[in-house]
Structure 1
């Protein structure tokens, strides 16, 4: 069974948590990662990686001494990520709302970048707020939080957390087309 069919079946069963029925396209993955200087990455966090469409691209770009930490709550996707068997990858079966506590437990206190595929618009308001606020707290100064969504409804919310340091792009070559929010922590 192809990974797209597996993803579709899992997404249909768990649409409230997954938020889509297709994995991210390579075009969306490339757009989300394009401004990251991977030569300077020490710790990168991915929230809601699903079946690893973006994860695999990140792992190809990571320098040998860097770590990628993925937060995935769906057990089937979690197992697919574990099957990648990469020594730079730490997969955590936990909500992204636990980002600060999990990073601390793993011995990391800051991250250079956060890549998020979480369906923020369908999460409860208090959960999405907690995720955004804790993500901001664990980002190092000048670190980026890159989020895609299928609508513009989260622009104001992201702007409230990241102040004025936010830009918006559009990726038409994804099903469905997606907006990419690029936020920078500036202190």
Structure 2
């Protein structure tokens, strides 16, 4: 999907896309740096949009790993279906269905979750369910990576992950972004 199509689609669905610009390569690199791609993993991505981060995960993904992505925007979903990789599963459902979806695909738990969801734009009850189910789906010591343009969810994630959270900042993104790296105990 070219930048013009991305912009057009993002403007049409700004509440769920959360931005009108795709993630920069700097943000993508910083977001994924905590993933051990040298061993088989189950990685889940929330809100992949045009698939920029998805494609970078697939470039590095171990041959025996699986990547399950959740995208509710139909146009972005259809773009993601064009990615030809048997390690990729594209789901056209809300991220709050993660527990059922991973079980349907033969998994009990997730190693890493990478989220681009605009948490502050989503109704709080839905965001709470997504975050609770994400936490429940993680293996012990599994990671949840989330980027946001504000610190609005820092306290909630710090409480959920019992303080096992680090915060970084990527200024070379439009807009600049905070990256939450949260580890389950």
Q: Within the alignment, does 1:182 sit opposite 2:176 as a pair? A: no
Which residue of the partner structure matches residue 13 of structure 2?
14
Q: Which runs of 5+ in 1 are unaligned?
A: none
In 2: Cα distance, 1:126 partner to 1:149 partner: 18
In 2: Cα distance, 1:171 partner to 1:156 partner: 19
Q: Within the alignment, does 1:62 sit opposite 2:76 as a pair? A: no
In 1: Cα distance, 2:141 partner to 2:51 partner: 26
In 2: Cα distance, 1:10 partner to 1:108 partner: 32
Q: Which runs of 5+ in 2 are unaligned?
A: none
**TM-score, normalising length from structure 1?**
0.97
Which residue of the partner structure matches residue 135 of structure 1?
134
1:29-40 alignment runs, 5 A limit: 29-40=28-39
Q: CA deviation at 1:35?
A: 1.6
In 2: Cα distance, 1:126 partner to 1:107 partner: 28
RMSD over equivalenced CA pairs, Å: 0.8
**Deviation string, structure 1 residues 116-156 (Cα, Å, up to 9, x no partner):** 00000111111111111100111001110000000011101
Q: CA deviation at 1:41?
A: 3.8
| Partner SS for 2:144 | strand
Greater alpha carbon shift after TM alignment, 35-44 vs 161-170: 35-44
Q: Within the alignment, does 1:121 sit opposite 2:120 as a pair? A: yes
Structure 1: which 4+ aligned runs deviate by more than 3 Å? none
**Deviation string, structure 1 residues 75-122 (Cα, Å, up to 9, x no partner):** 000011111111110000000011111111111111100000000011
Which residue of the partner structure matches residue 91 of structure 2?
92
| Partner SS for 1:118 | coil
Contact map agreement 1:150 1:179 (CA 8 A) in 2: yes
Q: Within the alignment, does 1:163 sit opposite 2:167 as a pair? A: no
